[in-house]
Structure 1
Amino acid sequence: MDDNAIILMNLGDILTNAGFRCYEADHGEAAKAMLPSHAENITLLFSDVEMPGDTDGFALARHVAEVYPWIEIVIASGQVKPTAGDMPENATFLSKPFSAQMVLDHLRETLPDGKKPEPLTRAV
């Protein structure tokens, strides 16, 4: 999830190529509205911190961790670094700019084996 359409499309491609089925939203409220219909099929939330509207990526991550605790969370930003209390305990942070390889390496390192799609379990 990202507010920049080009980054959102690129990240969607990275995650799709990694074996995930992607649901995209361009702001936090849209993601929160989408979750009840799809949450049982979601294993990963990947969100930017800064988005339009009242729900930034940190707030979205806290909401997801509370309501959907099985969903893994990665938060990214090139502008904002998390401080204590910004992110839930199980969330990880990735600095922008990032490459596809950086995203894949981060997911390989941080996702539990049972939540990695098959392409992420292959040796690199």
Structure 2
Amino acid sequence: MNHFNPGAAPHALVVDDDALILMEATSILEDAGFQVLEAMNVAQALKVLDRHHGAVQLLFTDVQMPGEADGFDLARVTAERWPHIAVVVASGRLKPGPGDLPKGATFIGKPFSPEIVRRHVRETMPDEKHPDQLRKS
């Protein structure tokens, strides 16, 4: 997990059990101006959110991960407990069915490009919460 700096501009939490995809998504969001926190499963993600939910503005999560809960579960819990957090869900295997995504969340198929991620983040987050780099790119 990356170091947390509460004074820095918007924070994103990236959740994926595949280390390469986690690194790729983290890099894309850092390039877009986010300070990124990381987790490799839903349990870790909820611990991060419990501690840092006030600073986190974006959840970017995979669907299939080890453990009892998946990324759809995490998206719904996040939207219910911390409605200020924008949610983007990504998967290369599953597509959301009815009720899988909370209201306002978006879905990205894998593999994804930086342009697709930035577009979905722009659409999901309110304009005033976008980091400067995301507004310029």
Runs of 4+ in 1 over 4 A off after TM superposition: none
Deviations for 1:71-116, whole angstroms, at most 9, x for unmatched residues?
Answer: 0000000100001101111211011111112111222233210111
1:29 aligns with 2:29: no
| RMSD across aligned positions (CA) | 1.0
Deviations for 1:13-54, whole angstroms, at most 9, x for unmatched residues?
Answer: 110110111110000010011111100000000000011111
So what's the TM-score if we normalise by structure 2? Answer: 0.86
Task: Please identify which structure carries the higher helix content.
Answer: 1
Q: Please give the secondary structure, in 2, of the residue aligned with 1:73.
A: strand
Task: Please identify which structure carries the higher strand content.
Answer: 2
Contact 2:104 2:124 in 1 (8 A): no
* Residue type at the aligned position of 1:73: V
Give 5+ residue unaligned stretches, structure 2. Answer: 1-14
Give 5+ residue unaligned stretches, structure 1. Answer: none
So what's the TM-score if we normalise by structure 1? Answer: 0.95
Give distance in 2, aligned partners of 1:109 and 1:90.
Answer: 9
Give distance in 1, aligned partners of 2:124 and 2:73.
Answer: 21
Give distance in 2, aligned partners of 1:90 and 1:2.
Answer: 21
Q: Aligned residues: percent identity?
A: 49
